[in-house]
Amino acid sequence: MVVDVVGFLPHATIHLPGPFRYLWLQPICCANSPPRMSPEQILFWVFAVATVFSALGVVVLKNPIASAMSLVATFFFLAGIYVLLWAHTVAALQVLVYAGAIMVLFLFVIMLLSINDVGPAVQLSFSRLLGAVATAALLAALVLAFRKLPTSDLAWANDPARLASFGSIKEVGAIMYTQWLFPFEAVSLLLLVAIVGAVVVAKSRI
């Protein structure tokens, strides 16, 4: 089911016609459902593919501003995936914090520093090679690990009461300010330290 955040997404299921049956990609959940795609699955693949491509853009694009904008797009598509995970409050915060605040500062800094469009030439060296091998190994290990994961439905996927409240801002807030009190306050300490530290490091004369 799709989390109906805005209140008008039709809860329809789109049946794929015969020839397209084999295009059906099995999502992580619902392994035993008949070959069809719910709107959720379609949206998932849209967001997933877009996330991967815009993330690639961050690495591949030569122009730093374009690279930063690609990162903004990545955050947006990630926010979409959060919505599909019943975490629409987190999605809103993702847009608010990452796309709206942090990346604006990134852009601001890039514009002020006026970094050259072309970065340093990439040369093959031993450490680079080693890094590439390590990255590939990590990727392979993770792919192996994730491929083997069991594909079972969430225990409460059909519990309407839980679904109605899960991920809503009230529930997130209540949990964050009561159960998660200690980590929450620790984060506030972290932010304070980060502000003081940034000022200390950046100011020319204290």
Partner 1 sequence: MRLRWNVIIGSLTIIPGLLFGGVATGYLLGGLADKHLFVGAHHLVNVVLLLLVFVMVIATALTLAERKWSAMMQNRIGPNRARLPFLENSALSGVPHVITDVLKLLTKEAFIPKDASKLLFNLAPMLAFAPVFALFAIVPAGPTVNVFGFDIEMVAANPDFGLLYLFGIASLAVYGTSLAGWSSNNKFALLGGVRASSQMISYEVALGLGLVGMMIAFSTVQLGGPAGMSDLQSHYLPGWSTYLGPIDVGVPQWGFLLQPAGFILFFAAAFAETKRAPFDVPEGESEIIGYFVEYSGMQFGLFMIAEFVEVVVLSGVLIAIFFGGPYLPFGNLWLKSLFGPDWQWLYGSILGTVFWLKVVLLCYLQLAIRWTFPRFRYDQIQTLGWKILLPIGLANVFISGALILWDPSLKALAIAGGIEILVLVALTLTPTPAKSRADAHIGHHGPVDEHGHGADHALPAGHH
Partner 2 sequence: MTIPEFTMADFWPVIPAGILTAAAIVLMISEVFLGAAASRTYQSLLSVLACVLAGAVALMNMTDTPRAVLQGYAVMDPFSSFLTLVVCVGTGLAALLAAGFLQHRNAERGEFYALMLFAAAGMTLLGLSNEFITLFVNLEVLSVATYALTAWLRRGSRPSEGAFKYFILGAFAAALMLYGAALLYGATGTTHLTDMAAKLRAALAETDASGGHPKQMLIYAGFLLVGAGFAFKVAAVPFHMWTPDVYEGAPTPVTALMSAGVKAAAFVALVRVFMALGPAVDPQLPFIAFSVLALLTMVVGNLLALPQRNVKRMLAYSSIAHAGYLLLGVAALFAVGKDAKVGVLSSTPLVGISGSMQSDVYQGILFYLLGYTVTAIGAFGTIVALERREDETKGNAWDLDRFAGLGSRKPGWALAMTVFMLSLGGVPPTVGFIGKVLLFRAAVDAGLLGLSIVGMLASAAGVYYYLRVVVYMYMRPAPEGALVPERRWTTELALVATAAGTVLFGVLPGPITALLQRTDMLFHR
14 binds, among partner 1, partner 2, none (CB under 5 to 8 A by kind): none
By C-beta, is 13 or 168 nearer to partner 1? Answer: 168
Binding flag, residue 189, partner 2 (CB under 8 A): yes
Verify binding: residue 96, partner 2, rule CB under 8 A. Answer: no
**168 touches 89 (CB < 8 A):** yes
Binding mask 152-171 for partner 2 (x = CB under 8 A): -------------------x
146 binds, among partner 2, partner 1, none (CB under 5 to 8 A by kind): partner 2
Task: Choose between 23 and 148: whose C-beta lies nearer to partner 2.
Answer: 148
**Given the rule CB under 8 A, which residues bind partner 2?**
141-142, 144-146, 148-150, 171, 174-175, 178-183, 186-187, 189-190, 192-194, 196-201, 206
